[in-house]
Structure 1
């Protein structure tokens, strides 16, 4: 049965406060079927994010009707202690050991209802907002359809017990935020230049280090297949059932398959685990062993893989016909590049990380511009989306009304068609390749409503893009789509219009969405790169805005265009 987002990446340092607030919300704000009993202070878990509170639900009440028993059973799903021992007390003797509570979580933001089907059967119906499967994958609901769960009952002595129920548990958003935490298993791009996050959700008081390592060894999520790689030799698993953490060091014992790893691969394996454990406050180092014998790991070769690539903190703008990095006192042009871009009268600009190449959208088409070679028209088709640039130097371009038209161009103009399985009805508003080059962000206009997709970028052995994987649909923001951007490696920001008001929404890739406030005037573009706090919005009047607290404030800069940096 599945989920929602706790404190986001930027706010995980305040996880304890968020847990307290969520727990109080459960105690004071529940209506309909409740989600838990008493909330009590819990014990520290040695290898995990510490959860300040633990739900201790009550067991069955003598003489309960089937309806009361079902209500209390659902509430008991908040208590994971002893493998959901309290919840199993509501089940019949023959069924208690068969039920699998960890199979899934369903997030239910509203109030569910029960209806009688037969003398010993009840249906429980509700509208869910998301699900989390047994591997920790978070899937937001894309429609408001009703979920119906069937329950059967049997008399044991004088008391009703549940004799059949779906696997998994149902939680309210507040309770989910209290007992689950988001973590990322990290993989590599095929060049081992970047570490790429694959977000998962686990119980805050479970053995998170063990679950993260297991997720890592099992490989990336289905939607990422083909775009990322792992340093671990195929078949490698944990040789012990749990990882131990001693004085900040996680000791990871692997099966003999790990012995096939080269010295460089061993260093990457260790780095991959350490990055994945970065959200665990108790882990600061990783030691590897194989079947109990220490595994020698050399120092990581330079350059080390980048986990969260940053961009220049100065806004890159086109103002009064001049392209450059803007401050309150001056605009610094890009040598050899600004002049060539300015001459094109650009509608959009995306700059390479070394600041020597740009993908430029104009009224006449898409251009590849280099500091040394000038501007080349690579796509002259009509109705193009603003182009994107990747780290391999490929300029991505497509016709807004035809997602199958996606093409990657070398800077010399060589054409590389990219196969996709994108929906054909909606119109593409924004297309952006992530800074690690493994994923593409798409904002779609579906008859005035927004749809948000992320798809894996699959390349051949030479790094040439060949296809996009099946898209992962994220939580869609309200309103008509305007623009979208990568805020960081795990979060995207979306600009929409609701009525006459602009809104900014952030969505985690593999998590929930949340509001980032409303700019004070109509907004036309959003760019990111250094986290949620460094997002920038361009208003229709040319003001460059930045988030301050829960509002958007003018930076004092004005521009005709906000460029995207890689």
Structure 2
């Protein structure tokens, strides 16, 4: 990904701190396109995103060989106009209508090669970096395996034409970045406290609001199922083929199934759509109707769901034996909590959102610490990874070399074993529960190489963790694993060691990854804050670093550890 896109997409989301989604919320930020210029208000539209670049590929050249025709056909996949009308010119009359270009996208970072299989058959082979399916799910390649596609040719009017080809298109990373945009369909955690993003990728010139609403109504991605819920009654669909956007208002007409929704559910439905449309500059409000009749939607009940929880902007550090929020001039301790944590000589600390509870890792065990009840030892197993905490009141702890050893401890010490399907070979370097409590981030050490996984947290009706879903594997960062953290609801930051230096990588959950630079010295921990700009690194020398532009600079603070805030 280019530096321009990393800045606009990875850094723009965290800037929207703790956005509370209500029916009256006016969304003005745009993480997609255009990247500059004024937004002009126009007529009613349904095609609500326009690409920075419009590719207009050429059609077949007379007298082309099979090899030339195939090469030009692949290039024509950049032009989606008229349902890939130019690309279809390369196909035989009998096959042009059968080919499905929108079935998938394969991203090819290198140069492919063709080989002849028969007199009228060629194979096209390349190494892919990712694929995107028809529902917009982005899947990074986890190994450098070669993809091979078969193409057949036939003579028509004295010219070669393609008579059989795989569905889908093949794009270079640069072209993909130009013609596709990422958007999130939002669902709720089971308590309706948080809005949880499910990232999808759509053509920038497609009717994005319609595709986002369709994705939302079809439900969450497979890997998220069981951890999130939707306010829409089961079976609800769009009753019209396209959503219209008029003067900033998206008008969403639903099937009669929506009438089963309670008044509270209707408010949540509207908020769910508005959050999902937040990356569309043309949409600032949502109106609901059912089969053409307006649907009455009451005001959202308080408290409204939080889309991207914010934390205290001050670093929470342990320095010279004192735990507190630090500036260069003072340290503010946590009433009733700092003293209890300091007495444990902690190696790691994770603080609850209300700042009254902490999960503390020490050399002797994992502790649950509360401001009112002191410290309780909950896990004495050896070889533990640093524990994590959720706001349902559970301390998560596991043995690093045994991913199946995961236990969620209640604050009273009651253990709740959590079933996982994590790979047995790699060890766990970092384990972190997302701030919405619906996902677990895991950085694995696979014989010195890094693997990055995110899995859904499935709970019972009382919020007790039961299991982790089948994990989603993200793009693996280069280097040996050191630490990982949630930067925001959609992005994780990974710290790795490459030789004698450190590297930070930003990876989107359901998207691509990009480099976030290298600190000048060795770093031993990365801690999330309010997005990329509020990430912190702890250097081996105790310096606390923060990102500034494309580099990492000292904050003026030194610490023994930097705590994670929820």
TM range (shorter): over 0.9
**Hey, what does 2:72 align to over in structure 1?**
72
Instruction: Confirm whether residue 112 of structure 1 aligns to residue 104 of structure 2.
Output: no
**Hey, what does 2:262 align to over in structure 1?**
262
How many equivalent pairs are there?
540
User: CA–CA distance in 1 between the matches of 2:173 and 2:215?
Assistant: 24
Give runs of aligned pairs for residues 286-325 of structure 1, distance below 5 A. Answer: 286-325=286-325
Structure showing greater relative contact order (alpha-carbon pairs closer than 8 Å, 6 or more residues apart):
2
SS at match of 1:8: helix
Aligned pair in 2 of structure 1 residues 555, 315: CA closer, same or farther (>3 Å)?
same
Q: Deviations over 1:306-340 (max 9, x none)?
A: 00000000000000000000011110000000000
For the 8 Å contact 1:47–1:282, the answer to whether it is kept is no
For the 8 Å contact 1:248–1:284, the answer to whether it is kept is yes
SS at match of 2:454: strand
Q: Deviations over 1:7-61 (max 9, x none)?
A: 52425857557799xxxxxxxxxxxxxxxxxxxxxx9975423323210101111
Displacement after TM superposition at 1:441 (Å):
0.1
* TM-score normalised by the chain length of structure 2: 0.94
User: CA–CA distance in 1 between the matches of 2:298 and 2:182?
Assistant: 31
Runs of 4+ aligned structure 1 residues displaced above 4 Å come to 11-20, 43-47
**Hey, what does 2:11 align to over in structure 1?**
10
Displacement after TM superposition at 1:529 (Å):
2.6
For the 8 Å contact 2:49–2:207, the answer to whether it is kept is no
User: CA–CA distance in 2 between the matches of 1:10 and 1:47?
Assistant: 26
**Hey, what does 1:252 align to over in structure 2?**
252
SS at match of 1:431: strand
For the 8 Å contact 1:46–1:282, the answer to whether it is kept is no
Instruction: Confirm whether residue 61 of structure 1 aligns to residue 61 of structure 2.
Output: yes
Aligned pair in 2 of structure 1 residues 217, 44: CA closer, same or farther (>3 Å)?
closer
Give runs of aligned pairs for residues 11-410 of structure 1, distance below 5 A. Answer: 11=12, 13=30, 47-410=47-410
**Hey, what does 1:493 align to over in structure 2?**
493
SS at match of 1:213: helix
**Hey, what does 1:442 align to over in structure 2?**
442
Aligned pair in 2 of structure 1 residues 506, 44: CA closer, same or farther (>3 Å)?
farther
For the 8 Å contact 1:346–1:362, the answer to whether it is kept is yes
User: CA–CA distance in 2 between the matches of 1:433 and 1:154?
Assistant: 56
User: CA–CA distance in 2 between the matches of 1:417 and 1:53?
Assistant: 51
User: CA–CA distance in 1 between the matches of 2:130 and 2:92?
Assistant: 29
User: CA–CA distance in 1 between the matches of 2:89 and 2:33?
Assistant: 30
User: CA–CA distance in 1 between the matches of 2:58 and 2:403?
Assistant: 53
User: CA–CA distance in 1 between the matches of 2:489 and 2:157?
Assistant: 57
User: CA–CA distance in 2 between the matches of 1:343 and 1:317?
Assistant: 15
**Hey, what does 1:40 align to over in structure 2?**
none
Displacement after TM superposition at 1:157 (Å):
1.7
User: CA–CA distance in 2 between the matches of 1:174 and 1:18?
Assistant: 16
User: CA–CA distance in 1 between the matches of 2:481 and 2:283?
Assistant: 41
**Hey, what does 1:456 align to over in structure 2?**
456
User: CA–CA distance in 2 between the matches of 1:545 and 1:106?
Assistant: 38
For the 8 Å contact 1:19–1:177, the answer to whether it is kept is no
SS at match of 1:273: helix
**Hey, what does 1:476 align to over in structure 2?**
476
User: CA–CA distance in 2 between the matches of 1:258 and 1:45?
Assistant: 24
Q: Deviations over 1:462-494 (max 9, x none)?
A: 000000000000001000000000000000000
User: CA–CA distance in 2 between the matches of 1:106 and 1:468?
Assistant: 29
User: CA–CA distance in 2 between the matches of 1:153 and 1:227?
Assistant: 48
User: CA–CA distance in 2 between the matches of 1:47 and 1:247?
Assistant: 14
Structure 1 segments unaligned to the other structure (5+ residues): 21-42
For the 8 Å contact 2:490–2:509, the answer to whether it is kept is yes
**Hey, what does 2:424 align to over in structure 1?**
424
Aligned pair in 2 of structure 1 residues 293, 14: CA closer, same or farther (>3 Å)?
closer
User: CA–CA distance in 2 between the matches of 1:79 and 1:44?
Assistant: 25
User: CA–CA distance in 1 between the matches of 2:422 and 2:32?
Assistant: 37
For the 8 Å contact 1:250–1:285, the answer to whether it is kept is yes
Q: Deviations over 1:246-296 (max 9, x none)?
A: 000000000000000000000000000000000000000000000000000
User: CA–CA distance in 1 between the matches of 2:31 and 2:267?
Assistant: 32
For the 8 Å contact 1:152–1:165, the answer to whether it is kept is yes
User: CA–CA distance in 2 between the matches of 1:454 and 1:178?
Assistant: 27
For the 8 Å contact 1:252–1:289, the answer to whether it is kept is yes
User: CA–CA distance in 2 between the matches of 1:310 and 1:45?
Assistant: 35
For the 8 Å contact 1:108–1:173, the answer to whether it is kept is yes
The CA RMSD over aligned residues, in Å, is 1.5
For the 8 Å contact 2:44–2:245, the answer to whether it is kept is no
User: CA–CA distance in 2 between the matches of 1:110 and 1:175?
Assistant: 13
